[in-house]
Structure 1
């Protein structure tokens, strides 16, 4: 199994990112700790010095795996499901800029909170959510069509009900793919399974993984309290085993709180899971 950790390219108040601040130092630290790749959180892709970033990654022999889009929603308030068409269009424009940046590193795109949330359900939540999903599908298709020249892959992340009311479970994302299968290139889209959100939404995490394993292309590990694995109550042995038994070949990445401090969080996350991997093998 290969492991990655999330690094923010710029300072952000977004919580579950271990490394924020000095980019070169954080990439060096991730490499020295033994990580195989890094995920980047970014909101202003045009401000990124691409050549400088490439040199840093090459220097420490660590690739960029994905680029997240959550800060576009978190810091700019833009989403694919907003009632305001202009805001939806601006969300797509922002994601396209991230796609252009990610293409320089052959990296994938994570679709998390950028999908937004439904604020007014008008007494008919099912209908409101369906309409929101239609908006998301249009925006996502535009992004996928735009990125076809790069071959960019997209990972849709189910997120818990306290943060959004669209796509809370693996099955809801799978149903979304099936509903719009005629407009999506299913070879370039998949599910990002995050154990923190699954701990809230899935009745049995490993069973949900088993049921949707063919569509799971990326995995985030975080414990029940969003600390590093081993600091909470999540049974990672059972989760790791179902991934291994089903020949999951993607990365496991840590999107966790920087607690008790960033270095300890990154070190302990990798150490805990690698020890677990040795035990299971």
Structure 2
């Protein structure tokens, strides 16, 4: 496995789930602390220059683990289940930009809350809106060699696709090889019946994993059963990215240091 940390630009919203802000500074800090990569949480595809990003990554021996799209929903109110055609066109344009960026950096684009809510509508209608956009962006992603990673999110943040079983059911309907799953153990602790069994049951789609403890702090700072998490990931042969998407508590550097110390220390054998 490889260890990554979620970062964003300096202008990211205050509620963005990232540890560090300022792309260049964050890449340097992630390298200094011993991470293998960074997950880029972006509002727009043009927030970062490809040439500069490539230089900063090269100078610090890091990779981009994935492009995260949560701020597209939180900051711009764009989402897959929106009925407004102008908004849908703007969302599609943005996702094509993220996909183009990911074709050079990481090869993965996240779809979390930006899939949008059901919000009291007929669930079948909301799903139809999602599937329409999902196939459109998957078509573009296929041309660019990029995978889309759908993230189940807990019921207190969205009412559409909350656990891994629901995600697998939807992925079967999408039926695209480049549309897979991004479990987050923080959300799984709320929604899945049993984290380890859920990983195993849905193993065919697990492509990328978010880590946070039960309190959304650094791994090891809550009461998450990390033995169960690592043993289940090992049992399904998972060797991809594990990315810290945590609150920067008590401060960003301390949170990032605790994550590295705990994961590379207690569970170092999985990162060798």
Calculate the TM-score normalised by the size of structure 1: 0.92
Matches within 5 A, 1:58-77: 58-77=58-77
- What number of residue pairs does the alignment pair up? 270
Partner Cα distance (2:120, 2:268) in 1: 49
Partner Cα distance (2:254, 2:233) in 1: 26
> Aligned-pair distance for 1:141?
1.0
Partner Cα distance (2:134, 2:10) in 1: 25
Query: Gapped runs of 5+ residues in structure 1?
Result: 122-127
Map of 1:139 onto structure 2: 133
CA contact (8 A) 1:170 1:212 kept: yes
Deviations for 1:137-157, whole angstroms, at most 9, x for unmatched residues?
111111111122211011100
> Aligned-pair distance for 1:231?
1.1
Partner Cα distance (2:242, 2:168) in 1: 20
SS across alignment from 2:144: coil
Partner Cα distance (1:136, 1:278) in 2: 39
SS across alignment from 1:6: strand
CA contact (8 A) 2:116 2:158 kept: yes
SS across alignment from 1:214: helix
Deviations for 1:114-136, whole angstroms, at most 9, x for unmatched residues?
10112223xxxxxx222212111
2:231 is the counterpart of 1:246: no
Alignment partner for residue 192 of structure 1, among 167, 182, 201?
182
> Aligned-pair distance for 1:246?
2.0
> Aligned-pair distance for 1:106?
4.3
Alignment partner for residue 153 of structure 1, among 128, 147, 161?
147
Judging changes above 3 Å, is the alpha-carbon distance between structure 1 residues 46 and 15 closer, same or farther for their aligned structure 2 residues? Answer: closer
Partner Cα distance (2:45, 2:94) in 1: 9
SS across alignment from 2:159: coil
Q: Which region of structure 1 is more displaced relative to structure 2, 221-230 or 103-112?
A: 103-112
Partner Cα distance (2:35, 2:269) in 1: 19
CA contact (8 A) 2:134 2:174 kept: no
Map of 2:87 onto structure 1: 87
Map of 1:227 onto structure 2: 217
Map of 1:172 onto structure 2: 166
Runs of 4 or more above 6 Å deviation: none
Deviations for 1:19-61, whole angstroms, at most 9, x for unmatched residues?
11x3222101101111111110111222422111110000001
CA contact (8 A) 1:206 1:242 kept: yes
CA contact (8 A) 1:3 1:37 kept: yes
**Root-mean-square deviation (CA), in Å?**
1.6
Partner Cα distance (2:214, 2:159) in 1: 20
Query: Gapped runs of 5+ residues in structure 2?
Result: none
Partner Cα distance (2:179, 2:54) in 1: 25
